[in-house]
Amino acid sequence: MQRFAASFPIVLVTGPRQVGKSTALHHSFPDIPYLTFDDPSQQLSVKQDPKTFLNMHQSPRIFDEVQYIPELFPYLKMDVDSRGEQGMYYLTGSQQFSMMQRVSESLAGRIGILQLLGISLRERFGDSLYSPFIPTREFIQERKSPNSCPAPKLWEYIHQGSFPVIVTKQVQAEDYYGSYVKTYLERDVRLLAQVGDELQFLQFLTVVASRTGQLLNYSDLAKEVGITGPTAKRWVSILVSTGLVYLLKPYATNVEKQVVKTPKLYFLDTGLACWLTKWSS
- Domain of 259, CATH number, reads 1.10.10.10
pLDDT at 261: 84
pLDDT at 130: 64
Relative to beta strand 10-14, strand 111-115 is parallel
In a domain, 144, yes or no: no
Q: 90 near 11, Cβ under 8 Å? A: yes
In a domain, 236, yes or no: yes
In a domain, 248, yes or no: yes
Of 96, 115, 134, the residue at which a domain comes to its end is 115
**Count of Cβ atoms closer than 10 Å to residue 132 Cβ:** 5
Same domain, 157 and 271: yes
Of 56, 91, 115, the residue at which a domain comes to its end is 115
Of 154, 169, 120, 151, residue with least CA distance to 269 = 120
Q: What angle separates helix 270-277 from helix 173-183, to the nearest 10 degrees?
A: 90
In a domain, 126, yes or no: no
Same domain, 166 and 54: no
Same domain, 58 and 158: no
Same domain, 93 and 39: yes
Q: 12 near 67, Cβ under 8 Å? A: no
In a domain, 129, yes or no: no
Domain count, the chain: 2
In a domain, 253, yes or no: yes
Tell me how far CA of residue 76 lies from CA of 66, 70, 84, 104, 205, in angstroms: 12, 10, 12, 13, 36
Q: 22 near 274, Cβ under 8 Å? A: no
Alpha helices, DSSP H, located in 121-277: 121-124, 137-142, 151-160, 164-167, 173-183, 198-210, 218-225, 229-241, 255-260, 270-277
- Domain of 104, CATH number, reads 3.40.50.300
CA end-to-end span of the chain: 38
In a domain, 11, yes or no: yes
Same domain, 100 and 189: no
In a domain, 122, yes or no: no
Same domain, 155 and 251: yes
Task: Please state the φ and ψ torsions of residue 148, each to the nearest 5 degrees.
Answer: -75, 140
Kindly give the confidence (pLDDT) of every residue in the chain, 281 residues in length, as a single tens digit, with 9 standing for 90 and above: 889 999 999 999 998 989 999 999 999 999 999 999 988 888 998 999 999 999 999 889 999 988 888 889 999 999 999 998 999 999 998 766 566 777 877 888 899 999 899 998 888 877 765 666 677 887 777 766 666 778 888 888 999 999 999 998 888 888 899 999 998 888 888 776 678 788 899 999 999 999 999 999 999 999 999 999 999 999 999 899 888 999 998 887 777 766 678 999 999 999 999 999 998 76
Please list, residue by residue across 215-242, b when 16 or more beta carbons sit within 10 angstroms of its beta carbon and e when fewer do. ebebeebbebbebeeebbeebbebbbbb
* Domain boundaries, position 232: 150-277
Same domain, 154 and 270: yes
Of 115, 139, 161, the residue at which a domain comes to its end is 115
Same domain, 267 and 158: yes
